């Protein structure tokens, strides 16, 4: 789950299975009582029909938690107000050594956490460019880049286009967050 709408869909699936939801957050849901294997399979199928996977492997859960923290931070927080770097944030929120998290993420995803963060930031830049409400300088500041040149360089490296070229496209080239 990577957005508030995802939480609503998962809540509906769980309640549709007559389960009492105790807590639901990005990437994690707790229900009352113990689930039978039959209930678990029914939930797995219902979630798959909505485009979600039920993750029950501890390592996969940890990678999903890393992704959720990154998405939540990049897309729903003010990065210019971040008082700590991502490595400290992830280690603190997940109560794990960052080197372990980094190795696990790279092993399971085939990219580094830093590359994933950059992908998310570039998607956020695309979104803000599509809205056309902020200048590139304002976007750069908002997303915590050291300069417009740094943002532009990273944007071109990831997309093959400069931010100006991207803005001139008639069809937005955004990638759904759950596909990154």
Q: Please, which residues have CB within 8 angstroms of residue 3's CB and are 6 or more apart in sequence?
A: 26, 71, 75, 177
Whole-number Å distance between alpha carbons of 133 and 78 = 16
| Higher-pLDDT residue of 132, 180 | 132
Three-state SS for 38? Answer: helix
Kindly state the DSSP code that residue 34 receives in the 8-state scheme. P
**Does residue 2 register a pLDDT over 60?**
no
Kindly state the DSSP code that residue 37 receives in the 8-state scheme. H
pLDDT at 40: 87
Whole-number Å distance between alpha carbons of 61 and 84 = 24
The pair of structure tokens assigned to 20 is: 């009492």
pLDDT at 1: 47
**Does residue 175 register a pLDDT over 70?**
no
Domains and CATH numbers, the chain: 4-49 (no CATH), 57-180 (1.10.10.60)
Reported as a single tens digit per residue, the pLDDT across 53-70 is 888 788 988 999 999 899
Reported as a single tens digit per residue, the pLDDT across 93-125 is 999 999 999 999 999 999 999 999 999 999 999
Contact yes or no for 136/163 (Cβ under 8 A): yes
């Amino acid at each position: 789950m990577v957005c508030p709408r995802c939480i609503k869909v998962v809540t509906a699936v769980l309640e549709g299975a007559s389960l009492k939801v105790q807590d639901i957050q990005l990437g994690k849901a707790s229900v009352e009582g113990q689930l039978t294997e039959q209930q678990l399979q029914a939930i797995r199928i219902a979630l798959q029909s909505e485009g979600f996977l039920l993750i029950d492997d501890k390592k996969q859960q940890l990678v999903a938690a890393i992704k959720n923290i990154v998405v939540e931070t990049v897309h729903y927080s003010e990065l210019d107000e971040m008082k700590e770097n991502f490595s400290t944030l992830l280690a603190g929120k997940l109560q794990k050594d960052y080197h372990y998290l980094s190795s696990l993420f790279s092993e399971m995803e085939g990219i580094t956490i830093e590359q994933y963060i950059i992908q998310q930031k570039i998607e956020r830049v695309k979104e803000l460019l599509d809205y056309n409400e902020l200048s590139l300088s304002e976007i750069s500041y908002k997303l915590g880049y050291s300069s417009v040149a740094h943002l532009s360089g990273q944007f071109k490296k990831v997309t093959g286009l400069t931010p100006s070229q991207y803005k001139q496209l008639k069809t937005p080239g955004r990638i759904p967050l759950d596909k990154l």
